[in-house]
Chains A and B, each alone.
Chain A
Amino acid sequence: MSMPLEYTYPTAALLTGGSYSNQELFTRLHAATDLAGVWSASDDQHYCGKWQVRVYVDGQAAEPRLTRLAPAFQTTEMECGGVRVAKTFLVPEDVAYRHTVYFLIDLENVSAEPHTIMLTGDISYPEQAWMQFSKIPDLYQKLKKVISRQQDGLVISHTQGRENEVRVIASQPPLQQPFFDDKGVQYLTDPFILEPGEKRTLHATMTFSNQGEPPAVQHVHLDGAVEEARARTLAWWDRFLRITDITTPSPVLNRGLAWAKINMGRQRVHYPCGWGFTNDPPQDVLVVRDAAWFILGSDYLMPDFSMGMLELLLHTAVEPGGKMTEYVLTCESPPYRYDYGLNVNDNTPLFVIAVWHHYLTTGNEVLTRTLYPVARDAANYMLSQRMGQQGLVYCTSEEANVWGIAGWRNIIPGYQQNGAVTEINAETVWALECLAELAAALGFTSDSDHWHEQAADLRERINRFLISSETGLYVVNIDTAGVRHDQLTGDMVFPLLAGVADSAMARRTLQALYQPEFWTPYGVRTVAKGQPGYDPEYGMRLVGGIWPNLTAWVAYASRELYPEKMVEAMENIYRICEVPVPRDFRNVVPGQFPECMHGENFESRGMSLSPWMPATYLWVALEGMLGLRPRPDGMEVTPHLPARWHWMGVRNMPWRGRSISIFVADGVIYSTEAVTSPLPVEVYEEDITDRFGGAEGVIALRRGEEVAVFIPAPTERQVELHIPAEITGRERTLRVGLETGAYTLLRL
């Protein structure tokens, strides 16, 4: 690893490259920075399956040496015959036409001899199956055929049978006569001489369109426009990373949190019917459960995206009767939804929680007044599904797999989770409490009382009926045959998340989850080792494998009783993202949270970038560690820091249309908003950090003439603080030396 937000590895140490995207497209890369797929959000179509760019120096192919994974791009470095080559792939941001991808080839001749340079490109447009990626291509996408032609130096390819589906390739240096077939095109560029000491940047661009040739041809960039796109993209990511800038005493966590934001930024998709993100990119499937969990994090980073996704769900995901569906196909017209025929699911209560959370963090009352009736109907629907003498929310399905599992682990072949499911009941209590608070905030007092009463009643029933007499812990479920399933699974965390478990029960549950049967250096197993049915690999690793989101839930549930375990869990989650040889763990990509791992050898065989995990990671840091608790009347802050931590901070975080900066230092809260807290609070008027030269992690707050400058040191550091003249009368530089884990608070 070289820089905090950039990972550099020997290319051979990587099985695969990164996932890069903007709101209109999604791409996957190979380790050597060749393109392994381009998908478009406009129509859920794959526009390219492979684009391999090779650089030849005097006829010899430059071999990949190092690969750099950065927020905005991936680069593979090569050296061949005294010529240094850096091949960069970039998905542009902040440009007029986002259906575009770029290769930029930076060359430098460091030898004393001139060298002949030429590039080759091997493009296959149909989607391809790659062993590095878990997703299997759709047959229709795989069998696409194209017709290509060369015109005005461009290569233009149409899909046969879909004439408006077009890709355009441009290159500098220009292409020689390309070779066409029905899969794509192979080309060579004109060879040229790179003189000793000379530097040159070459590039190749692909634009695509589902509206015929004109948009793609018009926007295919050459020369200066490509460099401008690179500069704009880098600047966009730089601005993005300044939002919700979190600093903790743990360098691992700081990197993990920065990359969580990067990975969240990569999930934004603008589908034809609105904003969303998918659970298995690239595709147009928006799962309500995943959207709801994502919103808890994105409300603190991309609240407008959260809003867009809630609006999309409002219009597309509500089933008759008030239940929220399982998923929506967002490129269909009209959008198609499906609930797997389950009478209850976790999507419904999680949606209510997301609505509540979005309102409290954004204060968007207009949207919330539209959403409230939907959330109310969803809650009423869940309550209408209480059955039997126990009065618990009850899943009636007798099917298996997605059609018979009520809960988040719903893709286990042959598995059933029906009847009274603890996870579903706990989430319903959580949703009811959220709805009660929301109703009160909107002035629906009687509704609020009703939801509180219903939550209390259901909470009491869970604690009466869903605790195993054998283990003393929550059961998974009591199925439709009345059989109690008291296998030890990670799902027993849900009553803790929902506030259903009392302190003693929470302590017992957490102690069980911290045992080595669950707890590993890379996260928490879904099912404890040794339990009936345990398998570290089977069932998408949901019966013994490790899912980082479960680990994050356990971390959050630990916040009050065991904050040191919360931090440990969060560090464990990110550990896999920084292993020395990622290839040893299969498709691990540094900086990207994998979807799930084998429960014993920790290999990642699911998605290399979990779409939902980054948002949950951010949520745990903010609401778990820093202890933010949005309330209708403002922010409450109750930090849950381990004893060895004396500080933590966040700056420039979206909060109700404004921006808030908060840090806690030795038991005092410093904030730009009047937050409430059991700790003393010092309120400042504004964050003026940007005037102090941008040293990492520094937060400077001003009230009147007084300025407080917080300088943290996750690792030992020498800070040069540039104090502007307006603060102390003359410009000066202050040098501060800090030991690992320390901080200093300057008052100017």
Chain B
Amino acid sequence: MIAQEVDQFLEQGIDSLVKVELLCFFRRNPSTFDTARGLALRLGREEAVVSQESEALVTAEFLRAYGTGRRRSFALSKDPARLYICERIEQLITDRNTRLLVLARLQGRRR
């Protein structure tokens, strides 16, 4: 069951650990409005990687983006369907029993 659910996440474009971390972060902090640099600091990731993955999540309509250049900022989507997916991902990632299965499938299926 979880594997099928993860496959649905993949179809939605969620295919990396950083994307999962971004969605979990926004889910826990839904009012966040921040640049890629700010998000990278919060996640402990490289800015370039966060920028690239955030843009992909904008394309997938999980995040919204405002502005351009270094001041381009990101916020969580308001779409209920997307928010539900974020909630599920956070549940599965927080649970010690499902976390590894989800991440391994997400990253393993990526090509």
* Contact pattern, A 109-137, Cβ under 8 Å of B = 1, otherwise 0: 00000001110111000000000000000
The distance in angstroms between the C-alpha atoms of A60 and B4, with both chains bound, is 11
- Interface contact A58-B99, CB-CB below 8 Å: no
B96 pairs with A56, CB closer than 8 A: no
Contact call A54/B96, Cβ cutoff below 8 A: no
A56 touching B104 in the complex, CB below 8 Å, given contacts A116-B111, A177-B17: yes
Q: In the complex, A122→B99 CA distance in Å?
A: 10
Which residue of chain B has the shortest Cβ distance to A183 in the bound complex? B96
Which residue of chain B has its CB nearest to the CB of A191?
B107
A61 and B109 CA atoms in complex are apart in Å by 11
**Interface flag for B103 (CB, 8 Å):** yes
Q: Nearest residue in B to A187 (C-beta to C-beta)?
A: B100
Those of A179-202 within 8 Å (CB) of chain B? 179, 181, 186, 188, 191
Closest to A177 in B: B17
The answer to whether A118 touches B107, judged by C-beta atoms less than 8 angstroms apart, is: yes
| Contact indicator B100/A186 (Cβ below 8 Å) | yes
- Chain A residues contacting B3 (CB-CB under 8 Å) are 60
B48 within 8 Å of A (CB atoms): no
B110 within 8 A of A: yes
Could you say which residues of chain A place their CB within 8 Å of the CB of B105? 56, 59-60
Q: What are the residues of chain B within 8 A of A531 when measuring CB–CB?
A: none
Give residues of chain B (1-43) contacting chain A, Cβ–Cβ below 8 Å.
3, 6, 17
B67-109 interface mask toward A, CB cutoff 8 Å, 1 = contact, 0 = none? 0000000000000000000000000000010011101111111
B36 to chain A, nearest CB (A): 18
By the criterion CB–CB under 8 Å, are A59 and B106 in contact?
yes
Provide the bound-state CA to CA distance between A58 and B6, in Å. 13
User: Which B residues lie within 8 Å of A176 (CB)?
Assistant: 17
> With an 8 A cutoff between CB atoms, is A488 at the interface?
no
Residues of B within 8 A of A58 (CB): 108-109
Closest to B107 in A: A191
CB-CB contacts below 8 Å: A424-470 with B: none
Instruction: Determine the chain B residues whose CB is within 8 A of the CB of A117 once the complex forms.
Output: 108
Instruction: Judge whether A61 and B101 touch: CB under 8 Å.
Output: yes
What's the nearest-Cβ distance from chain A to residue B51, in Å? 18
Q: How far is the CB of B111 from chain A (nearest CB, A)?
A: 7
In the assembly, what is the distance between CA of A191 and CA of B108, in Å? Answer: 7
Per DSSP, chain A at the interface is strand
CA distance A54 to B99 in the complex (A): 13
Interface of B, secondary structure class, is helix
Is A217 in contact with chain B by the CB < 8 A criterion? no
A52 nearest CB neighbor, chain B only: B100
A116–B110 contact, CB under 8 A? yes
CB atoms of B100 and A122 under 8 A apart: yes
B104 close to A118 (CB less than 8 A): yes
* CA of A67 to CA of B3, assembled, Å: 26
Task: Give the shortest distance, in Å, between A174 (CB) and chain B (any CB).
Answer: 14
Distance in Å from the Cβ of B39 to the closest Cβ of chain A? 15
Answer whether residue A57 sits at the interface, using C-beta atoms and an 8 A cutoff. yes
Contact of A116 with B100 at beta-carbon distance under 8 Å, contacts A177-B17, A188-B17 already known: no
CA–CA, A54 to B101, complex, Å?
A: 9
Q: Are A188 and B104 within 8 A (Cβ)?
A: yes
Cα-based distance from A120 to B99 in the complex (angstroms): 10
* Residues in B whose Cβ lies below 8 Å from that of A181: 96
Interface centre among B103, B105, B106, B109 (most CB of A within 10 A): B103
A116-B110, A176-B17, A177-B17 known; A59+B100 contact, CB < 8 A: no
Chain A nearest CB: distance from B100 CB in Å? 4
Q: A85: shortest Cβ distance to chain B, in Å? A: 13
- Nearest-CB distance from A620 to chain B (Å)? 48
Question: How far is the CB of B95 from the nearest CB of chain A, in Å?
Answer: 11
Task: Pick the contact of B108: A56, A121, A177 (CB < 8 A).
Answer: A56
- Least Cβ–Cβ distance between B3 and chain A, in angstroms: 8
Nearest CB of B to A246, in Å:
46
**Distance of A59 Cα from B104 Cα, bound (Å):** 6
Q: What's the Cα separation between A188 and B96 when bound, in Å?
A: 13
Q: How near does chain B come to A419, taking the closest CB pair, in angstroms?
A: 56
| A505, B102: Cα distance in complex, Å | 70
CA A122 – CA B104 in complex, angstroms? 12
Complex CA distance for A165 and B96, rounded to whole angstroms: 24
Pairwise interchain contact B17-A59, C-beta atoms closer than 8 A: no
A117 to B3, CA, bound (A): 17
**A61 touches which of B44, B96, B104, B110 (Cβ 8 Å):** B104
A56, A58, A176: which has the most chain B beta carbons within 10 Å? A56
**In the complex, chain A residues 38-88 whose Cβ is within 8 Å of any chain B Cβ:** 54, 56-61
Complex Cα–Cα for A60 and B17 (A)? 17
Contact with B along A353-377 (1 / 0, CB 8 A): 0000000000000000000000000
| Cα(A56)–Cα(B111), bound, Å | 14
Q: Is the Cβ of B108 less than 8 Å from the Cβ of A186?
A: no
Q: How far is the CA of A56 from the CA of B102 in the complex (A)?
A: 11
**A233 nearest CB across to chain B (Å):** 29
- Distance from A109 Cβ to chain B, minimum over Cβ atoms (Å): 14
Please determine whether B100 and A120 come into contact, CB atoms closer than 8 angstroms. yes
Contact indicator A188/B111 (Cβ below 8 Å): no
Chain B residues with CB under 8 Å of A61's CB are: 101, 104
Shortest CB–CB separation between residue A157 and chain B, in angstroms?
16
- Give the nearest-CB partner of B111 in chain A: A116
Interfacial chain A residues near B106, Cβ < 8 Å: 59
Q: Is the CB of B99 within 8 A of A118?
A: no
Shortest distance in angstroms between B24's beta carbon and chain A's nearest beta carbon?
Answer: 11
Tell whether A57 pairs with B96 under 8 Å between CB atoms, given A176-B17, A188-B103. no
- Cα distance A61–B100 in the bound complex, in angstroms: 10
Measured CB to CB, the nearest residue on chain B to A121 is: B100
A330-345 vs B, CB cutoff 8 Å, 1 = contact: the mask equals 0000000000000000
Please name 30 pairs of A and B residues whose Cβ atoms are closer than 8 Å in the assembled complex, sorted by A: A54-B100, A54-B104, A56-B105, A58-B108, A58-B109, A59-B104, A59-B105, A59-B108, A59-B110, A60-B3, A60-B105, A60-B108, A61-B104, A116-B107, A116-B109, A116-B110, A116-B111, A117-B108, A118-B108, A120-B100, A120-B101, A121-B100, A122-B96, A122-B100, A176-B17, A186-B99, A188-B103, A188-B104, A191-B108, A191-B110
Binding site for B on A (CB under 8 A): 54, 56-61, 116-118, 120-122, 176-177, 179, 181, 186, 188, 191
Other A-B contacts than A58-B109, A59-B105, A120-B103, 16 sampled, CB-CB below 8 A, are A54-B100, A54-B104, A58-B108, A59-B104, A59-B106, A60-B105, A60-B108, A61-B101, A116-B111, A117-B108, A118-B108, A120-B100, A121-B100, A177-B44, A179-B99, A186-B96
3 closest A-B pairs by CB: A59-B108, A59-B109, A59-B105
